[in-house]
Structure formats: structure tokens, C-alpha cells
Amino acid sequence: MKVLIVNTYQKSGGAAVAAGRLLVALNNSGVRTRMLVSEKTDEDINVVGIDDSSNGRHPYRGWLRRWHFMHERLAVLLRLHINRDHLWEIDLGNSGTDITRLPVFKEADVIHLSWVNQGMLSLSVIRKILSSGKPVVWTLHDLWPVSGICHYARGCNKFKNGCRHCPLLPGGGSDSDVSSRVWKKKQEIYSKGSIHFVACSKWLENQAKQSGLTASGSISSIPNPIDINVFHSTDKAVAKAALGIDESKKVVLFVSQRVTDGRKGMEYLATATSMLKESLGEVAENVVVAILGGHSDEVSESLALPSVALGYVEDEERIATIYNAADVFVLPSLEDNLPNTIMEAMACGVPTVGFRVGGIPEMIDHMKNGYVAKTRDAADLAAGLRWALFEADAATVQAEALRKVRINYSQNRVAMKYIEIYNHELALRHYIT
């Protein structure tokens, strides 16, 4: 069996990280797997860039790939009346490369779509993929595949029976706005083929099952895998020293690809640090907040506690060291699926504090391996940080975090679940034909 995973980016973003880890997990489990991305960024022989072909690099394809990205973004910007507020929250699926012509697509037995937005695949290309006769599995990293144009519903339920009056569009959209048209186009495309959707969390699985776009498809829930050979517990004092942090300090860690993303809840963390400082008194002098991610220097000064801006880091070994330097990881997301960051922190034996949203309560067992705070409640977030830093038994919490990862998120366990789906879809397709 040969599997082709399709994802827009090779390493940038949570979906890319998850897809890359699944690629490794499947190959380690004996399934010949390759990943197709918009642009290859390293020498991994199992990853293929759209610019690559069996006859070498096409002289114009790189330009065409960039055109698809720009065309998609420009189309979104025009729908927003040149307002950039929701520019990255919307995708129209109106531009992308026809991957069905590529050798890597033709040789695959199963096509596994991952995050394919921002000019990677258009809806027309997805139609061709479904028409190819190959089984299609689609991992849901967010809601876009089963909604109109949004990645996260943010409380909107219109995706259930046909999007319209989209709150992300100027003036709240209309009955026949672009969200409605895209939703109907997806409905028509999906009716012509069969897709097995796989949500990364039970929360997203439940959302997807409510969408009118999944009526003819199967839906399962499988978490993302984690490589415990990279993310594992090491000496905390050594890790702190590597970051230039005094080993006597308690470290609160916040991680996001872009820390200024409002969905990640930095404003609540800022408020929580003020409350924590007030409740701890002089003890607060021993607490440091480390911020990992793009634009970290822009938010570090907004925190009441001393902070260290670590910037954007791509090297996983370095990231693992940063997790091991932490005494608690905090992710006050306002909406999230199954964050890789929580999984990475837990694999390093670090307790996590987060809000009761999305798939986060599936990962954190309250007051066992972390603390689940009331949604948008900065005071409870501060209480969770205090519990993890000063009240919980560190050894017990660490053991519970490691146990959770071992049982639920190991590469082998996740790979076996996907292989079951691949075999089922192949057998079903063989039976139909």
C-alpha cells in the first residue's frame, strides 16, 4: 500500500507538524508513505514539492505556485473590501495546482488530504481527486473542509445546513454570500465521491458530524502523533541553563506560531499574570514567563511578571529543550482543536493549564496532569498556574502527563488507527468496483 499525504506546508504550522509526524509514523509501521507540499524546505526523501517532477524542476511551476497563493489571498481580500482583519481566517478554495497529473499522485493507492488551503488545492482540484477513483482520507485540523469559508466557527452554527450571512464578511454577509456559494459547491463536489473524514479530536468530530457536508461520508476521530524520541523529559536545571534562566526560577511557558493571534488568548494570560503576581506577593519574584513564537517580543512587555521572548524556533530539539525548562505550560486558547503544543509539553512531563474549549479537555485531565480552567476566566487561569507551580506534586503530575502521552499519542498507536481506515477504504473501493 502506498499513501500520499497532501499538506500545504512542510513544517510551518500545527497541521504541517502533525502531517510530518504521521508521515514518519506510517513509514515506521511499514506503509510506504510520501508527502506532497507546496514547497519542499529540506532534504527529506519522503517529501515532494509541487515544483518537483520525475523530469526535474519545471521552469514555470514555481511561479505558478506563487500565483495560486496570491490569487487566493487577493480574492479573499476583495471579499473583505480590502480589510485585513479576517484575511487569514477565510479560504475560498478557488485556486490551486492540479496534483492529479503528478507521478507521486498517480502511483499512490490512498490519497490522504491534510491542511490544503492558501492556494495548495482548489475545490476544482478536489473534485478531480475524488473522480480519480482513489480512496480519499481527509484529516480535519480545523472546520474548513466541512464549512463554507471559515476555519473556526467561533460560535456560528450556519455550517450545519448551508452557510450564509457569514459574520466574517463585511456587513455580516447575505443569503447568497460567498460562504453560501462555497458551501453549496462543496456539497455538490462531495456528493460525487466518498471521503473518510478524520478529526484530530472528539470535539471536532462532533462538530463535523453536525455539518450538512458530511452526510455522505464517514467520520472518525484519531489524535495527532508525537515523537517521544524527540519530546521527552530531561533535566530541568540543564534545560533552564541552556536558555540562560536561573534554575531557581519557576518558568511559565506560552507557545504559539504567532503569539499575537487573538484566538490563542494572550490577553487572558496577561490578566492572569497580574492576578498571579498579586496573590503570590514577594514569591512572584521567582516566576518567569517564557514566550516562544513569532512576535513574542511584541507581547512580553504586556505581562506583569518578568518575561523572556524566545522568538520563533523551528528546530525540534531546541523546542524540546524549551519545554523541559518549563514548570508549567499555559495555552489559554479561545478555540482550538487538539494543540500539538499541549502534546509536546506533556511528552516532556510538563503540566498544562488551558481553558475548557475545543479538544483541550480531552488532553488535560483536571488536576492530574494539568488544570482545565473555566473558559475566558482569567482568575481561574491564574488559579491553575498557581496550582501547577506551587500546590501540585510535581513528580505525580509529571508521571500522569507521560502516561497520557504513552497511551494516547504514541506514533505506533496513531499509525495503526490510520492503517485500519486505509485498509477499510481500499477494501470498500475494491468491493464497489
pLDDT for 56 equals: 47
Query: Binning pLDDT at 50, 70 and 90, where does residue 135 land?
Result: very high
- CA–CA dist 139, 366 (Å, integer): 27
Looking from the CA of 265 toward its CB, the CA atoms found within 13 Å total 25
pLDDT for 54 equals: 40
CB 380 within 8 A of CB 367: no
More confident residue, 84 or 180: 180
Give DSSP secondary structure letters for 26-85: HHHTT-EEEEEESS--S--TTEEETT--TTS--TTHHHHHHHHHHHHHHHHHHHTTT--T
SS3 assignment, position 277: helix
pLDDT digits over 159-170, tens only? 998 899 999 999
Residue 344 cell numbers, joined = 509536546
Strand partners, 78: none
* Contacts with 195 (C-beta within 8 Å, 6 or more apart), sequence order: 130, 136, 137, 138, 217, 218
pLDDT for 192 equals: 84
pLDDT digits over 42-87, tens only? 889 999 998 775 444 555 557 788 888 898 999 888 898 888 888 8
Amino acid at 226: I
10: nearest Cα among 57, 48, 52: 48
pLDDT for 116 equals: 97
Across the range 388-410, mean pLDDT stands at 95
* Percent of all residues in the chain with a pLDDT value above 90, rounded to a whole number: 75
C-alpha distances (whole Å) from 235 to each of 104, 247, 318, 369, 407 are 43, 11, 14, 19, 23
pLDDT(353) > 60: yes
Amino acid at 289: V
Q: What DSSP state is assigned to residue 100?
A: G
- CA–CA dist 408, 12 (Å, integer): 24
95: nearest Cα among 3, 208, 180, 8: 8
pLDDT(14) > 50: yes
Measured in whole angstroms, the distance separating CA 161 from the mean position of its chain's CA atoms is 25
Across the range 152-175, mean pLDDT stands at 90
pLDDT for 433 equals: 52
pLDDT for 259 equals: 82
pTM equals 0.87
pLDDT for 361 equals: 95
Measured in whole angstroms, the distance separating CA 47 from the mean position of its chain's CA atoms is 19
pLDDT for 151 equals: 93
C-alpha distances (whole Å) from 160 to each of 155, 156, 180, 193, 194 are 12, 9, 12, 20, 19
pLDDT for 297 equals: 81
SS3 assignment, position 426: helix
Average pLDDT, the chain: 91
pLDDT digits over 205-255, tens only? 999 999 999 976 799 999 999 999 999 999 999 999 999 999 999 999 999
325: nearest Cα among 392, 406, 248, 227: 248
- CA–CA dist 337, 339 (Å, integer): 6
Across the range 119-130, mean pLDDT stands at 96
- CA–CA dist 188, 193 (Å, integer): 10
pLDDT for 431 equals: 59
350: nearest Cα among 233, 237, 269: 233
